[in-house]
Amino acid sequence: MYFNGTAQVNEKGHLQIGGVDTLDLVSQFGTPLYVYDVALIRERARGFKETFDKLGVKAQVAYASKAFSTIAMVQLVEEEGLSLDVVSAGELYTALAADFPVERIHFHGNNKSREELEMALEKGIGCIVVDNSYELQLLERICGEKKQKANILLRVTPGIEAHTHDYILTGQEDSKFGFDLQNGQAEAALQNALNSQAFEVLGIHCHIGSQIFETTGFILAAQKIFEKLNEWKQRLSFEPAVLNLGGGFGIRYTNEDEPIAASQYVEDIITEVKNLAQHYNMKMPEIWIEPGRSLVGDAGTTLYKIGSRKEVPEVRKYLAVDGGMSDNIRPALYQAKYEAVLAGRPLEKANEVVSIAGKCCESGDMLIWDLPLPESDDNDVLAVFCTGAYGYSMANNYNRLPRPPVVFVENGEAQLVVRRETLDDLIRLDLSIQTKIKN
Ligand SMILES: Cc1ncc(COP(=O)(O)O)c(C=O)c1O
Ligand SMILES: N[C@@H](CCCC[NH3+])C(=O)O
């Protein structure tokens, strides 16, 4: 069995994370429960920063908070000295509520509203990543009205296809994100931005996709961007102070995945950018990256109580848990795969193969297909690993299931950082009808 971070088996034979027995967590907080190994998040954050420091490159590592955004997580990001990427007023509001330094917040999104852009300007956030010409014009108008200047990056789409699931590709030509780099769209936007009093153009941004296992895509993107930068240097006298190459670094969910070390992604990217800058005789830009999954993905574990069991003779054994696509939509959305153990006896030999079903009214609500497991019953707790990214952040109330709480564990202590939703929370926004419909 593969354990990462501080996960281990304790003297009782139970799964322990952050020095805390997971069965004690279940007694205290119930199930389903998201558990985060804080030491592992810190280790990942420091890994990125140390690699940049070692390479002597000016950089910002901005945590992509879409992966998992709560006040406590943002506070942790601040403690570790990272920057923060937000994509909505909600994520920005969370960052502000956590007192995150505004100058280190970067605002993303392909359809930011007027209200969101105004909020970003009013709060003085560090940088807006402009995605399209509609937004560029809107932001220019707002800056004019407010007599303010905005620091911007232009997001470009380099026209390459990284090897990952179709739904999480973003760098290909036919994408809803960014200015097309190849067909003149990006150059026209840059020219407009440079000619406007409203903007300080810090540089260029590009994000090619998510859960990527090789550096070739990032390198190709950098090459394509530099080819254009070289043209823009001649034609527009523009050299970027910042090059943001996005996130997307893949992690290990199951033993089918073979990610490379985070430091390797950074080293390969930096080596290439240094070569390109030298080749085109340009200043080495400050490098920004935006890891989400690779900072929090494998630090999260979800604990479920096992419930009903159904056998389809000679076909399959279904084992249902008390959560599902409402707390982890990734298997249903991307056919994502996970590994799991019984939290009370993780080392016990498997003697059956079961498929883990969620409790939502959808046939597609399956968390894991064909999982080898020791025979279990409703006294058992299932621990599903690597649920830290895009689990809680994509959780929903389908079937009016309350969203689970989140617990941080570190050095033998557990801290509740998001409480469990109650049934009252579920109807909190509902309003009764006021008028009787008369015939
Ligand atoms: C613009 C941008 N930056 C960063 C990320 C973070 O990606 P990941 O969690 O794969 O590192 C995403 C999501 O894919 C993104 O869209
Ligand atoms: N939510 C996706 C990744 C998309 C990232 C945001 N651009 C996942 O769970 O893998």
Ligand 2 neighbourhood includes 244 CB (under 6 angstroms): no
- With contact defined as beta carbons under 8 Å apart, do 116 and 205 qualify? no
pLDDT score of 165: 64
Ligand 1 atom closest to the Cα of residue 209 is 14
Tell me the CA end-to-end span of the chain in Å, nearest whole number.
66
Residue 172 has pLDDT above 90, yes or no: no
* Ligand 2 atom with least separation from CA of 207: 7
Q: What is the pLDDT of residue 434?
A: 83
- Ligand 2 neighbour 333 (Cβ under 6 A): no
Task: State the binding site for substrate.
Answer: 293, 330, 334, 362, 390
Considering Cα of 280, then 281, then 282, then 286, what sign does the dihedral take?
positive
Q: Which two tokens stand for residue 326?
A: 């409402």
* Predicted confidence (pLDDT) at residue 46 exceeds the cutoff of 80: yes
Of 206, 360, 361, 386, which one is the catalytic site residue? 361
ipTM of the prediction greater than 0.90, yes or no:
yes
Is-catalytic flag, 361? Answer: yes
Q: What is the DSSP string of 262-303?
A: HHHHHHHHHHHHHHHHHHTT-PPPEEEE--SHHHHGGGEEEE
Domains in the chain and their CATH numbers? Answer: 8-37+298-427 (2.40.37.10), 108-291 (3.20.20.10)
CB 296 within 8 A of CB 73: yes
**Tens digit of pLDDT for each residue in 271-312?**
999 999 999 999 999 999 999 999 999 999 999 999 999 999
Ligand nearest to the CA of 162: 1
Distance CA 296, CA 406 (A): 13
**Does ligand 2 have an atom closer than 6 angstroms to the CB of 210?**
yes
What integer pLDDT is reported at residue 174 of this predicted model? 80
pTM (two decimals) = 0.96
User: Is 211 close to ligand 2, i.e. is its CB under 6 Å away?
Assistant: yes
